[in-house]
Amino acid sequence: MRAAEDEEIAYGWEIRPFEGLVGLLPDGIRFGDHRTAIAGRLADRFGELLGERRTYRQAPWSTGLSDHYVEGGLILHFDDEERLVHLEAFDPAPVFHQGLPLTGIPYAAALTALKAMGIRLADTDTGVEATDAGFHLAAPHDPEDPRVHSVGLFRSSLVADPVTYSEADPVERITAHRLVPGEGTEAVRLGEDRHELGARLGPAQQSVPEYGGAAEDWYYDHGLVLSFDADDRLTSLVITYTGVSGEAWFRGVQLLDRPYGEVVADLEAAGVRIEHGELAGRAPEHGFTLLLRGHGNPAMPVGGVVIGR
């Protein structure tokens, strides 16, 4: 086993805790790096060896994009300013921690070796987190394949920022949101206080997001993901429904879960100009953005509506 704390190894990616990966690129892949810069460095170093780059949204409410390098075993997740915030590596990507290979080996063997090295591990719903080393090992998904499913790298410990649930009393569901340009919706306005919103909207899942704000509250019943600043003021909201159905309306046009091409045509007929972007369509005069999860084509349904970003 080879320690690599003070040098960047040339035979694979070496984890730099809470920084990223080094070893196969002169500047590595580091958190905070811009998406375009990373793509350029990878292309210069590996060319077509990384295979197709597939861009998608990790979830309907994700305001940042993710790039999957299929043959290279890398998925890079970016924030809404295209800065790297999280990455995942799979076999065949050769990922090491202090010289110990983590991808392509049996999950149980990886845990045994990490414990022997004195690495502190914390159980999670999907595997274990090396809390002081900045990475997570996902347990195998396939019972016929005992290998580590993936290695995830984060800017800070997931265990340190657990998901919690508010204790507010349930309220009547909001099934249709009507957008108010520059302000939010008829039910939720930008700048509102987090605690006042909680009293009005009922129970929420609360967490510290990877990006976009100091805190995030998910109101599943209302289809709302709310982001707040350090002063607990609402800075942005995403309307998206998971598990239950709901709607978002602007100028008589229903925006959610309809083909993007149809939504844009209806909005333009209502006098709303749409700027087409990568997996998104923005209404700049009215302050909202339509989010698509996969490759942008007219048949792709709108998965979320963002206000305030």
The domain of 290 spans 247-307
Co-location of 231 and 169 in the same domain: yes
Q: Last residue of some domain: 154, 181, 202?
A: 154
Co-location of 43 and 107 in the same domain: yes
Asked if the structure places residue 262 within a domain, the reply is yes
Asked if the structure places residue 6 within a domain, the reply is no
CB proximity list for 86: less than 8 A, separation 6 or greater: 77, 152, 153, 154, 155, 210
Co-location of 220 and 134 in the same domain: no
Co-location of 125 and 174 in the same domain: no
Dihedral sign, Cα of residue 301, residue 306, residue 307, residue 308 = negative
Q: How confident is the model at residue 220 (pLDDT cuts 50, 70, 90)?
A: very high
Co-location of 136 and 35 in the same domain: yes
Q: How confident is the model at residue 11 (pLDDT cuts 50, 70, 90)?
A: low
Q: Last residue of some domain: 135, 154, 173?
A: 154
CB proximity list for 215: less than 8 A, separation 6 or greater: 194, 206, 207, 208, 209, 227, 228, 232
Using only C-alpha atoms, the chain has a radius of gyration, in whole angstroms, of 21
Co-location of 293 and 175 in the same domain: no
Q: Last residue of some domain: 209, 239, 269?
A: 239
- Selection from 152, 33, 124 nearest residue 84 by Cα: 33
The chain-wide mean pLDDT, for the chain, equals 92
Co-location of 149 and 192 in the same domain: no
Strands 275-277 and 280-283: antiparallel
Count of positions (residues) in the chain:
309
Q: Is the pLDDT of residue 6 over 60?
A: no
Co-location of 224 and 277 in the same domain: no
Q: Is the pLDDT of residue 9 over 60?
A: no
Q: Is the pLDDT of residue 7 over 60?
A: no
User: Total structural domains in the chain?
Assistant: 3
Asked if the structure places residue 137 within a domain, the reply is yes
Return left, alpha or beta for 186; rule: phi > 0 is left, psi -120 to 50 is alpha, else beta. Answer: alpha
Co-location of 281 and 260 in the same domain: yes
Predicted model pTM: 0.90
Co-location of 119 and 18 in the same domain: yes
Q: Is the pLDDT of residue 2 over 60?
A: no
Co-location of 150 and 17 in the same domain: yes
Please give the biggest Cα pair distance in the chain: 65
Q: Read out DSSP for 173-200?
A: ---EEEEETTTEESS-BTT-BHHHHHHH
Asked if the structure places residue 111 within a domain, the reply is yes
What is d(CA 111, CA 185) in angstroms, rounded to the nearest whole number? 48
Q: Read out DSSP for 45-61?
A: HHGGGG--EEEE-SSTT
Asked if the structure places residue 252 within a domain, the reply is yes
Asked if the structure places residue 42 within a domain, the reply is yes
